[in-house]
């Protein structure tokens, strides 16, 4: 059975994810909710990766599929099927389990170091180095009831949570590759001071390689039998 990748806009870049899944011989399928692609039957799902997007998780009146995705994620979690929510995907995942999503006091854009909270009581992060990770978010999530906060940054106290055994939401972008970041700078940074875009692209090969290495281990531990 495949891992299903949920995109929220049809042009959402998947970064390192397809290459990693191919490398690990994990079959996958990708759908776009903005194109009204149907969510899969859970009997055909081995795992779920739900991606980012430019909208906010609380914009349900504008995006009816958010509610549908929340129902799907709750059912997936109840089945014990592994879930990884990235950025908006992590926010929708948190919201599906009752957490509040709200505007961040300050947008987090660029590379940020993360620190463990002391509650990293599971094998997913054990022994993993934490490089700086790319961030691009204007909203943040509170924790769902019963969730454990695993990582934080200077600006965002909830960067990664675990709910149950195999449901994870993250705010950062370990999947960011060079193509994705150059697109981000072109689309999002054109009205910002040039040093912001320059800093995002600095040491881009080294930084994205470290993010990829982290994501490889996460995907192995979460999705491999």
Which helix (DSSP H) or strand (DSSP E) does residue 21 occupy? helix 17-23
Helices (H) and strands (E) in the chain, counts: 6, 10
For tokens 């149907």, the residue is 38
The answer to whether 108 and 132 have CB atoms below 8 angstroms apart is no
Of 12, 69, 70, 175, which one is the catalytic site residue? 175
For tokens 């042009």, the residue is 11
Of 87, 108, 137, 158, which one is the catalytic site residue? 87
Active site residue 175: yes
Active site residue 189: no
CA distances from 55 to 62, 103, 120, 130 (A): 9, 12, 30, 28
Q: Which residues are catalytic?
A: 87, 173, 175
């Amino acid at each position: 059975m495949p891992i299903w990748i949920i995109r929220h806009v049809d042009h959402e870049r998947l970064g390192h994810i397809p290459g990693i899944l191919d490398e690990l011989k994990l079959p996958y399928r990708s759908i776009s909710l903005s194109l009204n692609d149907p969510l899969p039957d859970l009997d055909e799902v081995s795992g779920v990766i739900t991606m980012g997007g430019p909208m906010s998780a609380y914009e349900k009146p504008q995006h009816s599929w958010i509610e549908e995705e929340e129902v799907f994620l709750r059912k997936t979690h109840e089945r014990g099927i592994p879930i990884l929510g990235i950025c908006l995907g992590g926010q929708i995942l948190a919201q599906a389990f009752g957490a509040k999503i709200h505007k961040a006091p300050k947008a987090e854009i660029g590379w940020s170091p993360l620190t463990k909270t002391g509650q990293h009581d599971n094998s997913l992060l054990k022994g993993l180095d934490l490089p700086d990770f790319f961030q691009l978010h204007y909203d943040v999530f509170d924790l769902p009831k019963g969730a454990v906060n695993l990582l934080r940054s200077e600006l965002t106290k909830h960067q990664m949570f675990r709910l149950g055994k195999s449901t994870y939401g993250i705010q950062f972008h370990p999947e960011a590759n060079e193509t994705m970041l150059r697109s981000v700078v072109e689309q999002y940074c054109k009205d910002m001071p040039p040093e912001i875009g320059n800093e995002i692209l600095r040491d881009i090969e080294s930084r994205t390689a470290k993010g990829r290495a982290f994501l490889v281990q996460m995907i192995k531990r979460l999705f491999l039998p």
